[in-house]
Amino acid sequence: MDIQQLLTLLLVVPIVSSIVLWLTPANFKALSTMHILGSIASTLVAVKAVMSVVNGETLFAYDQILFLDSLGGVFLALIGVTGLLVNLYSVKYMQWEVDKGEITVKDAKLFFTLSHLFVFTMTFSVISNNIALMWVAIEATTLSSVFMVALHKGKKSTESGWKYIVICSIGLAFALYATVLLYSAGFTVINDSHSTMLWTTLMTHAKEINSDALKLIFIFALIGFGTKAGLAPTHTWLPDVHSEGPAPASAMLSGILLKCAILGLIRYYAIIGNSMVGFEYVQTIMIISGLITIFIAALFLIRQHDVKRMFAYHSIAHMGVIAFGLGVGGVLGLFAALFHALAHSVTKALAFCVTGNMVQIYGTRDMTKMGGLIKIAPITAILFGIAICSLVGVPGFAIFVSEFLMIQESINTGLIIPVILFVIGLIVIFIADFSHFNLATFGESRTKILTNKIEWSANIPLILLASLIIGFGIFSIEGWVTLLNNAVKIIIGV
Amino acid sequence: MIDLLSVLSILMIITSLLVFGLRNYKISIYVYSLQTFLLVATFLLLSSTHLAEQLSVWAGVAFLTKVVFIPYILLRLIKKLGVVYEDEPVAGFFVSPIIAMGFSLAIAMSIYPIYLEFSLIKESIPLIASITVFMMGIFGFILRNSAIKQILAYCMFENGIHLSLALMAYNSPEIAELGILTDAIFAVLIMSVLAQRFYKYFGSLDISKATELKG
């Protein structure tokens, strides 16, 4: 298969899956089979594409408008792996919702159709070399996922859908200004309209582009992509949207979408870092942004009793951690930030999907009404425990690795005060989480249990996610480390 | 001779104040349509004065999508909901547009020199207008609670960006402009559907009444 075909397939497979699902009659069995087949096909193409860039190659297609480098490969891997496992889980989840009469089969069909469209837009954002198309794709991720979030009919769901589209669109408007300004500042040195839009060309010419313009561009990009990624202070949409959507939608949004927005920001970070402005400027801004985000999230986390809202604040906190990693910079800091993107992706996908199981068992998201989960559904309780342990950075779980590396690199580079603040933030989150975990897992249930039967078809994708969390926490997986190292080289312009 | 380009730009700023400030939804939508018409006229003028042929195509596409289609969608929406006037916003009808305009102009004046330096078409007043209209859209979101006014605010900042794009990057590949416009149209369609749902569940278009999600 040639490169052009491969990159085309990355986009065609999810869009075709989406169209096929849309045309499939509203029969749950037929829909779920098509949904699973489509997800597997998308993931196989994504894995094949990622494998071809592990060693640092960059693939181009369509006059370089589409491309895949190791940096994009890292994020494509998230879309492929996390996307598949969440999609597998979503079949059972939607079945529960239909059985309970919360949604109709037609709603489930809409959800499945949109989830492939959503994968298409996210993949497009990752493989666009044209910075304007990357923006278009990131904005399209919002548009394609609004009705995945606002799937239920009712006040809360409508409110969350409205907040989502409005706040993200305002935020991203600034990123569009960043794009326009970068293009016009780049055009004065590159003088070719096609190549000026290409990220790879802008990277090559970064040093020649006007520094003042680039500084303003980075601020705009941070507001824009930062809003979409859930960085404070424009994170306010995230808790509402992640807590109101169906569990698999929250898992996709938190596990993959936020990372795609961060990739958008990283592309700007790399250009400005490699220009005459230098990395110090972008790193300082990212450290401040990261720490503010972590602290705001930690403060709100303490008083959350709604399990999905708690995890939503976790998403914000961990986007803060990734921002902090970008702020620490250097080979190790950037490696840690990218590793954290994967670690958080699988962890948060597991966390949100587990909340789906918990709501099925208790019929509520309020942890003060739960209790005794370990006796009622031990597998769900263990999976919940694994998600929490990874989220708070217990050694042996994936997130520990990246947080440890960030702390190590901060100390090495003399960032003592930021690292102390970072650790304090993490400790607050640690305490808040374990108290919540105890509340839900041990003791006696404080509400009537609806069911204690969670089918294996729901648990298997979650067990696979949990294995990834532990696998990445304990083992150093060679292909993955090589991919990350090559991605870091791209960012620092080696 | 009166500089037609400046006149069009100033008219765009004035229409942004009207879209923001008018209470009657129908008239606000017509004024938005007029603003987009001024944008189309600006594109046509620039395409002849600055030999930017691409802009005549932009003008055609913008006319169909934003002078005709989007206002049609919005007019249909208010007809369906049977709403005529916006409820009194927090800062009052008179004060909030003035605050918004003051801040928007101040921001535009402070950052337009950077834009001007790299702009392909070096015209100060249209650049100031583009940033002002954009910021009026942003303030529209912040200061107005009506869902329809928020959709109009979205359309307005989109117009601001469109003008900036035309001035600063009219020679950029068409695919980018088409993609941005497609996103904008879908965003308006989705927001219209959500606004209808909102009205159904809350019995009002006032976003501040939605307080189910907190903390």
Cβ neighbors of A130 (< 8 A, separation 6 or more) are A65, A197, A198, A199, B173, B175, B176
- CA dist A185 and A203 (Å) reads 13
User: What is the value of ipTM here, to two decimals?
Assistant: 0.91
CB A316 within 8 A of CB A296: yes
Is there a contact between B114 and A212 if contact means CB atoms under 8 Å apart? yes
Is there a contact between B164 and A177 if contact means CB atoms under 8 Å apart? yes
Q: Other CB atoms closer than 10 Å to residue A492's CB: what's the count? A: 14
Return the pLDDT at B213. 66
CB B52 within 8 A of CB B171: yes
Residue B212 has pLDDT above 80, yes or no: no
Which pTM was predicted?
Answer: 0.94
**Dihedral pair phi/psi, residue A61, rounded to 5°:** -150, 160
CB A461 within 8 A of CB A85: yes
CB B198 within 8 A of CB B205: yes
**Dihedral pair phi/psi, residue B162, rounded to 5°:** -60, -40
Terminal alpha carbon distance of chain A: 29
**Dihedral pair phi/psi, residue A306, rounded to 5°:** -80, 120
Return residues 365-424 of A near B (CB < 8 Å): none
Helix A155-190, helix A258-273: angle, nearest 10: 20
Return the pLDDT at B1. 44
CB B175 within 8 A of CB A263: no
From residue A166, alpha-carbon distances to A163, A206, A211, B182, B191 in Å are 5, 33, 32, 17, 8
Residue B90 has pLDDT above 60, yes or no: no
Partnered with residue A128 across adjacent β-strands are A66
Return residues 77-96 of B near A (CB < 8 Å): none
A24 vs chain B: nearest CA distance in angstroms?
23
Q: Touching check for B208 and chain A: CB below 8 Å?
A: no
* Chain A residue closest in CA terms to B149: A166
Q: Touching check for B198 and chain A: CB below 8 Å?
A: yes
What's the gap between Cα A164 and its chain centre? Answer: 16
Strand, coil or helix: B89:
coil
How crowded is the C-beta side of A86, counted as CA atoms within 13 Å? 34
Contacts of B190 in chain A (CB under 8 A): 143, 146-147, 165
Is there a contact between A146 and B194 if contact means CB atoms under 8 Å apart? yes
Please state the rounded mean pLDDT for residues B47-61.
86
From the list A146, A170, A239, the residue facing B190 with the nearest CB is A146
From residue B158, alpha-carbon distances to A247, B39, B154, B205 in Å are 33, 11, 6, 22
Return the pLDDT at B204. 82
Strand, coil or helix: A410:
helix
Which of B28, B34, B35, B47 shows the shortest CA–CA distance to B97? B28
- CA dist B160 and B134 (Å) reads 4
Q: Touching check for B212 and chain A: CB below 8 Å?
A: yes
Q: Touching check for B139 and chain A: CB below 8 Å?
A: no
What's the gap between Cα A218 and its chain centre? Answer: 21
Q: Touching check for B115 and chain A: CB below 8 Å?
A: yes
Please state the rounded mean pLDDT for residues B198-204.
87
Give pLDDT < 70 ranges for chain A.
Answer: none
Confidence of residue B75 (pLDDT cuts 50, 70, 90): very high
Residue B42 or A434, more confident: B42
Domain regions of chain B by residue span = 4-204
Domain regions of chain A by residue span = 3-492
CB A178 within 8 A of CB A227: no
Return the pLDDT at A21. 95
Return the pLDDT at B88. 62
CB A145 within 8 A of CB A110: no
Contacts of A216 in chain B (CB under 8 A): 111, 114
User: What are the structure tokens assigned to A232, written together?
Assistant: 């404070």
For the CA atoms of A331, A335, A338, A344, the dihedral, rounded to the nearest 10 degrees, stands at: -140
Q: Touching check for B179 and chain A: CB below 8 Å?
A: yes
A46-71 burial, b at 16+ Cβ within 10 Å, e below that, comes to beebbeebbeeebbbbeebbbbbbbb
Is there a contact between A139 and B173 if contact means CB atoms under 8 Å apart? no
Q: Touching check for A210 and chain B: CB below 8 Å?
A: yes
Q: Touching check for B187 and chain A: CB below 8 Å?
A: yes
A354: burial class by Cβ within 10 Å (0-12, 13-18, 19+)? buried
Percent share of chain B, pLDDT over 70: 93
Is there a contact between B187 and A169 if contact means CB atoms under 8 Å apart? yes
Residue B40 has pLDDT above 70, yes or no: yes
